[in-house]
A = this chain, B = another copy of it.
Amino acid sequence: MKWLRTTITQIERPAPGFALLRFAGQPEIQGEPGQFVMVRGAWGNDPILARAFSLVEVGVHGAILVRVVGRGTRRLADMRPGDSIDVLGPAGHGFDFSGKGDVSVLVAGGVGVAPILMLAESMAASGQRPIVLYGARGSGELVLCERLASAGEVAVATEDGSRGHRGYVTDLLLGVLEKQPSAHLYACGPEGMLEAVAKMAVRRSVPCQIALESPMACGKGTCKGCAVLARSGQYLYICSDGPVLSADDIYGEEQ
């Protein structure tokens, strides 16, 4: 892991309320799909904590996709190229997709598309062509679809039906799982979606990795703030045990 005081090099605004921030590596930003960085601008006392964002691109530039939901994400989305930001990472454990020969099905909900995009592109780079299921409330919240489409087979669901299937992304997943019973699942999105995906997977004994979120302070395994209760009854820490965990660990059936 590294801590960098670096600068924003470019900002794309793929849709209202979203910003794709690129920042300079010194010399390189490293990381695997599913890993994240803790990011903060030079804005003083408030908000005081750094914010967690999944890596979307690594290399000479790193990139994160920010969805504006509160004051920290607002500040980040309002930044300009040249502004200073602090980046700590790569943090946590990413998706493990090495040597998984089977069909990969990636499920993204909302801004959960960030690590899923990087995962899809990594898979594509290694010669796979994953199936990507991407859900959002409406078409205005679907971002970076072209990039997804060049990495895999994309199917889209929106709750308001403004694009693709009207309904939940898990509806699409159900269909795919019927055709592809031996798939490997990789999912990131809101808690409700992750739970639904995980339970489908657990019920079918389909291997499934989910990228979870939790309020964080340190991002480095030290504050013990990001605990989630695992099925085992133990606490797991999203920043250091996760954010990618096996669906079984969290949503496995009671024994």
Does A98 make an interface contact (CB < 8 A)? no
A46–B44 CA distance with the chains assembled, in angstroms: 8
Chain B residues near A126: list those with CB within 8 A.
none
Q: How far is the CB of A84 from chain B (nearest CB, A)?
A: 12
Interface residues of A in 63-101 (CB under 8 A from B): 71
A17–B222 CA distance with the chains assembled, in angstroms: 40
Copies in the complex: 2
Chain B residues near A71: list those with CB within 8 A.
44
Does A45 make an interface contact (CB < 8 A)? yes
Q: How far is the CB of A187 from chain B (nearest CB, A)?
A: 34
Chain B residues near A46: list those with CB within 8 A.
44-46
A45–B48 CA distance with the chains assembled, in angstroms: 11
Contact size class for A? Answer: under 10
Interface residues of A in 38-56 (CB under 8 A from B): 44-46
Closest B residue, CB atoms, query A42: B74
Q: How far is the CB of A163 from chain B (nearest CB, A)?
A: 31
Interface residues of A in 8-52 (CB under 8 A from B): 44-46
Closest B residue, CB atoms, query A83: B78
Interface residues of A in 225-247 (CB under 8 A from B): none
A46–B46 CA distance with the chains assembled, in angstroms: 6
Closest B residue, CB atoms, query A48: B46
The digit string for A95-129, where 1 denotes a CB below 8 A from any CB of B, is 00000000000000000000000000000000000
Q: How far is the CB of A83 from chain B (nearest CB, A)?
A: 10
A45–B72 CA distance with the chains assembled, in angstroms: 12
Chain B residues near A45: list those with CB within 8 A.
46
A44–B44 CA distance with the chains assembled, in angstroms: 12
Chain B residues near A44: list those with CB within 8 A.
46, 71
Closest 4 CB pairs of A and B: A46-B46, A45-B46, A44-B71, A44-B46
User: Could you list 4 A-B pairs, sorted by A, with CB under 8 Å?
Assistant: A44-B46, A44-B71, A45-B46, A46-B46
